Chains A and B, each alone.
Chain A
Amino acid sequence: MNKLISQITRTSTAVALASVLTFSLQGNAATFKLINADDPGIGFNDATPAAPVGLNTGTTVGAQRLIALNFVGSLWARALGGNDVIEVAASFAPQECTATNGVLAAAGPLSVFRDFDNARFPNTWYPSALANRLAKTDLDVASGEPLPEIGVTSNGDLGKPGCLTGLSWYYGLDDKAPNGNSIDYVKTILHEYGHGLGFLSFADESTGELFDGRPSIWEHYMVDGKTEKRWVNMTDAERKASAIDNQFLAWTGFQSFIGAQQTLTNVDTLDVFLLDKNGIAFLPGGTANFGAKEGRRSISGALGFLDDTRAPGAACAALTAEQAMSVKGRVAVINRGGCAFTDKAKYAQASGASAVIFVNNSPSFAGRPAFGVDDPTAGITIASTLISQQDGVRLRQSGTRYASIFDTKRPGGMDLLRRPLLYAPTVVQPGSSVSHWDITATPNLLMEPISNGDESTALRAPKDLTLPLLKDIGW
């Protein structure tokens, strides 16, 4: 019996040891090693004295830049775990810049690999940092071509005359960049490192072509909700169409799906439903910050189109008697542009409109934006929604004279199957389309294409979906 007890003890000890070992291994942090590519005296080597700021103890501009970049590396290292050494070649060189427009920073993987040991999918490209993690070796070194895994360049001229004049980098580590003219360097680079680690598609979103004729790991997880086809199984033409399938391009990874349920919350949207010759049409709408907030769950009525030829200034003044006749007791359809939304809603309401459907005036508009300003003094009590320009054309050409507006509380940034949506505006935006979370995500996520200022830097659910997606692709 002692032998058996001893066996049990050994077994439990082994299990316990294994668990400790597992914990220990998982508890390790990757190492981000910075490779300074700047010449003496500039960029990271800038010896200009600087006062420590926001926990950044550097006393020169160059030292503060290095510390800030290493701080980002530390945040990512803790998130990724593992024992990887990830080399980041970094420079603070001048970038394309004018007084009002310029590159803040850029980053990406410096090489890709396929068909290495432990690759989850064959014939599939992986960014090198991830490939190294999966292959458990540094493939660049093994190939005889040692390369850093990630490259990052930052704008060293920011704030100088002629380059975003008046702005300045904030190198503090406390996310407390002063409002106004400071750009938070840590937050900027945190996002860019995400791309360097693999948060991107290598397919050409404008043509649908795969990189070097093969999919990357990213394309295995992108699915078009209209066809339920993954990008890896599509033709170039299908990928091209899917890249602009706004609100239908979704991510299928399990970790991101779970993370999305924990992170994304419902938003109020006023969507338009109409019955035309093709059946029921659904036109996604944005949410007005003014007018009726309650009791707008269902508004049905005849449509009253304001004269289209007056666009974009329709309803910027009290409606004429003829216009008033066309909207009285109806859901007014008014083009955006020329004056504030609240002005148009106010004039439509004064003429007896029961609600307003605004039609956007730019084809590149996507998503369901919040719009207008909540101005109680305007006295607006009717509900308003904002549909895309394309849907506005559809509405006008449908021949229908009747529509319903429903308050649909839907998860911001998820499709109908509650999968997180990827950014796929109806006009391709190279570098933004397909390789980011959709801008309808609520709350704002780090890996959206546009900085909202309040995006999470937590990287993981329930505050962010960056890390869940990276786990999906193999991190």
Chain B
Amino acid sequence: MDGLNRKQVLPNGIRALAKAALITSAVACTITAAHAQSDKFKQREQAQASALEQYRDMPDSERAAIANEAAAKTAIANRSATPSEREMLMESPASARARLNTNSELLLKRSSTGVGKEIHAGNSVGKVLGTAYFNSRTIDIKDGKHLETCEVEKSAHKHARDDDAVTNMAKSTVNSQAKGAIRE
């Protein structure tokens, strides 16, 4: 059939059938490919889900693989902080927050980290936060029990903690009867 005009050679009905067959084939191919993609997507999802199962449930071999990966990264991927980065990291969240809010040139110049400074890249605008939005994990020890909570120092005054141990325990054990519920 090479070199011939198919429209001239094939009767209309056959052309239509051939076209339909081709479309069907194309659709089938697409579906097959989509299936393949879907299957691979599922496989990838399953693989990731497996890797990300609670790591307490991971097979030791898998956990060891990730651990080895972490150890290898420790050897090659890390670098030391610059003085500026170190300075930024050492600033208390309350201080960074204050500088972020005042945004005064005087305060900005006090530090090389530029917390509060506006930075531009193309059309975008950025703002240096420093540690101002650090979220802390704190721990209280009451009556021999530990309670880890989150808090952020968003002002110069440290957030007054709720020292009601019983109330705290209520929050910590709201879903965890195994850890003991509010007792009284």
- For B159, give its contact among A145, A370, A429 (CB under 8 Å): A429
Q: Are B173 and A101 in contact (CB under 8 A)?
A: no
Q: Is B78 located at the chain interface by the 8 A CB criterion?
A: yes
Of all chain A residues, the one with the shortest Cβ separation from B73 is: A70
Q: Is A230 located at the chain interface by the 8 A CB criterion?
A: no
- For A200, give its contact among B22, B133, B176, B179 (CB under 8 Å): B133
Residues in A neighbouring B134, C-beta threshold 8 A: 106-108, 151, 153
Q: Are B124 and A135 in contact (CB under 8 A)?
A: yes
Complexed CA–CA distance, A103 and B158 (Å): 12
Q: Interface 1/0s, chain A 430-473, versus B by CB < 8 A?
A: 11100110011111100001111110111110010000000000
A430 to chain B, nearest CB (A): 5
Q: Are B127 and A111 in contact (CB under 8 A)?
A: yes
Complexed CA–CA distance, A115 and B126 (Å): 9
Q: Are A175 and B174 in contact (CB under 8 A)?
A: no
Q: Is A178 located at the chain interface by the 8 A CB criterion?
A: no
Residues in A neighbouring B44, C-beta threshold 8 A: 23, 26-27
A162 to chain B, nearest CB (A): 13
Complexed CA–CA distance, A140 and B146 (Å): 39
Complexed CA–CA distance, A439 and B178 (Å): 16
Contact residues on B (Cβ < 8 Å of other chain), bracket = 35 or more
- For A73, give its contact among B18, B70, B140, B175 (CB under 8 Å): B70
Q: Interface 1/0s, chain B 126-160, versus A by CB < 8 A?
A: 11111111111111111000111111111100010
Q: State how many residues of chain A have any CB contact under 8 Å with chain B.
A: 139
Pick out which of these stretches binds chain B: A292-300, A332-340, A390-398. Answer: A332-340
Of all chain A residues, the one with the shortest Cβ separation from B72 is: A70
Q: Is A183 located at the chain interface by the 8 A CB criterion?
A: yes
Q: Are A15 and B138 in contact (CB under 8 A)?
A: no
- For A31, give its contact among B77, B79, B161, B181 (CB under 8 Å): B77
Q: Are A370 and B181 in contact (CB under 8 A)?
A: yes
Of all chain A residues, the one with the shortest Cβ separation from B80 is: A36
Q: Is A328 located at the chain interface by the 8 A CB criterion?
A: no
Q: Are B85 and A71 in contact (CB under 8 A)?
A: no
Interface residues of B (CB under 8 A from A): 1-2, 6, 18, 22, 25-26, 29-30, 32-34, 36-37, 40-41, 44, 48-49, 51-56, 60, 63-64, 66-71, 73-74, 77-81, 85-86, 88-90, 93, 114, 117, 119-142, 146-155, 159, 161-162, 164, 166-167, 170-184
Interface residues of A (CB under 8 A from B): 1-2, 4, 8, 11-12, 15-16, 18-20, 22-23, 26-27, 31-37, 55-58, 63, 66-68, 70-71, 73-75, 78-79, 81, 89-91, 93, 100-117, 119, 125, 128, 131, 135, 137, 139-140, 142-145, 147-148, 151, 153, 164, 167, 173-176, 183, 186, 188, 191-192, 195, 200, 202, 204, 206, 212, 267, 289, 336-341, 362, 364-373, 386, 412, 427, 429-432, 435-436, 439-444, 449-454, 456-460, 463
Q: A153-B131, A167-B139, A370-B181 are in contact. List 17 more A-B contacts (CB 8 A).
A: A4-B22, A90-B89, A101-B138, A101-B139, A104-B137, A109-B133, A111-B119, A111-B126, A175-B54, A212-B127, A364-B164, A368-B174, A369-B174, A369-B181, A427-B162, A432-B150, A450-B172
| 29 A-B residue pairs with CB within 8 Å | A15-B30, A23-B37, A26-B44, A35-B80, A57-B68, A66-B78, A93-B89, A112-B127, A113-B124, A143-B126, A151-B89, A151-B134, A176-B56, A195-B135, A202-B133, A339-B184, A362-B167, A365-B167, A366-B171, A369-B181, A427-B162, A430-B152, A430-B153, A431-B135, A431-B151, A441-B175, A452-B172, A453-B179, A458-B54
Q: Give the top 5 A-B pairs by smallest Cβ distance, nearest first.
A: A431-B152, A19-B37, A12-B29, A116-B124, A37-B81
